[in-house]
Amino acid sequence: MKRKLILDVDTGIDDAIGIILAVKSRQFDILGITTVNGNVSLESATRNTCKVLDLLDEQNISVIKGANSPLLRNSFFEHAVHGEDGLGGALQHASIRKQPDEGFAPDFIINSILNFSGEVTLVMTGPLTNLALALKKCPEIVKHVKEVIFMGGVVQGAGNVTPTAEYNLYVDPESARIVLQAGFASITQVGLDVTRKALLRDEHIALIEDRNLREFIDKSTCDYRKRYFERNQVSGCAMHDPLAVGVALEKKLVQTGQYYCDVETRSELCDGQLVCDIQNRLPAHPNVSVCTDVNTEAFFDLFISIMNS
């Protein structure tokens, strides 16, 4: 029996590769891909998601639009990383066959979770607005979700937008708080601590046999890799969102610890920071399974084998 999955994305170069990994793994019954404002506008994220499904010739997977802004704040796009179109220009001239489906992502999330109680895994690779809206409308979904895996935050390292904040939590920290405080029995944080160790390099790309996929991944990540080198002096680019999908596929790829986590929302310098109580200093119970390390080689072995399946 395939596991039921909803992917929530702000597609985005690495979201796109995460979608490809999830679809090509054939391990999931993908109930739908929900889109959110984040790296690019909701419209662009939705269009990019449809283009990626066209690339895979998977037009039967539903794509449902969600929030077109963060809960309380203004949009904060990341064109510098993901390019004007959000895919590094890789599918700029592709004609679009797949059209988004009817509905609103938070409602789709609620209905899917209630229809398949205890069965749905949520993999969230954008700002957490859609899930926060779903929780506000129907708090009882917490009891019916199988698990939540989200890419966001950094525990023991620097942020990638501000000195302390990672992009997905920085964009919509109020939503992230709602999600972290909701009381999910199983919620896993996949943060920069581990995703920065999952660097896609030229040699990985060269191993992808399918020409369309190889060209897409090469082209979409080209500027991203250049920028990553300029900023970090390492060749490659971080597979943030694909690693979150990787964790859904295989928990053993990462080491985790149970900690209490919250998100800063009222600080001039630290808004969007994930605050993780690694020394148990607060009188609060652990609420998140935090990824502390990753087996990078095992992740890329899995990644390449799925790309070539």
Q: 97-126: which residues touch ligand BDR (CB under 6 A)?
A: 125
Site string for Ca ion, 256-285 (x = CB under 5 A): ------------------------------
Nearest residue to 159 (alpha-carbon basis) of 131, 192, 196, 128: 192
Q: Quick check: 240 binds ligand BDR (CB under 6 A)?
A: yes
Q: CA-CA distance, 127 to 78, in Å (whole number)?
A: 12
Which of 168, 265, 273, 295 is close enough to bind ligand BDR by CB under 6 A? 168
- The site map against ligand BDR for 23-42 (x = CB under 6 A) is ----------------x---
Q: Can residue 126 be called a binding residue for Ca ion (CB under 5 A)? A: yes
**Per-residue binding letters, 77-116, with Ca ion (x by CB under 5 A):** ----------------------------------------
Distance CA 55, CA 20 (A): 9
Which of 8, 14, 223, 271 touches ligand BDR by CB under 6 A? Answer: 14
Q: Please state, in angstroms and rounded to a whole number, the distance separating the CA atoms of residues 216 and 92.
A: 11
Residues designated as active site: 240
Note whether 172 binds ligand BDR by CB under 6 A: no
| List of E strands, the chain | 3-9, 28-35, 63-65, 120-124, 145-151, 187-190, 199-200, 237-238, 254-259, 261-263, 274-276, 288-294
Q: Do residues 241 and 12 touch, judged by C-beta distance below 8 A? A: yes
CA 158 to chain centre: 19
CB of 92 to ligand BDR, least distance (A): 18
Looking at the Cβ atoms of 110 and 200, the one nearer to ligand BDR is 200
Query: Which residues lie near Ca ion (CB under 5 A)?
Result: 10, 12, 15, 125-126, 241
Query: Which residues lie near ligand BDR (CB under 6 A)?
Result: 12, 14-15, 39, 78, 81, 125, 151, 160, 166-168, 240-241
